[in-house]
Amino acid sequence: MKITSEVKVAEEVAIEELKVFAEYHLEKTINDEKLNEDYPDVLEAIKLGLLTFNDEQVPTYTLKKSIMTDNGSLALDKITFVTRIRSSEKEKLAKGIDLKNDSFKLINKLKAHLTGQPVAMLDKFPSKFDERVIDQLSSVFM
């Protein structure tokens, strides 16, 4: 499924939604300029109607380009994020990783955990936009 680039949410509304989400999870006040600077693709995803938040500020993202299996059936089109990685879970995910030399391996494990997907699925996103949205959203929870 390919999503069009038609704006469905006004920019002012999208900024307010992003602000509520970010301030809720980061537990601090964030100005609009910082939101635009740190989360430009997340803001765009909200405007396109691809990203929504429930009452507990849990994000659900509809991929701009779905991931298909080799035989053409749908493998993944929507991600509901985990919004917290507990300390013990971080420890498990980091086990055996040399953080000095292999930090990207841990980042990928954390993103996979946050998206509820296996690490291998991170390589299958056909859209760079989807990757950037996932990276920016994941940064809120790491």
How many domains are contained in the chain?
1
109: in domain: no
Stated pTM of the model: 0.90
29: in domain: yes
CB 26 within 8 A of CB 140: yes
Half-sphere exposure of 75 (CA within 13 A, CB side): 15
| pLDDT tens, position by position, 80-96 | 999 999 999 999 999 99
Residue spans of alpha helices (H) in 39-127: 40-47, 87-94, 103-115
3: in domain: no
67: in domain: yes
- The C-alpha atoms of residue 38 and residue 65 are separated, in whole angstroms, by 23
| pLDDT tens, position by position, 23-82 | 999 999 999 999 999 999 999 999 999 999 999 999 999 999 999 988 989 999 999 999
Residue spans of alpha helices (H) in 7-47: 11-26, 32-38, 40-47
104: in domain: no
6: in domain: no
41: in domain: yes
38: in domain: yes
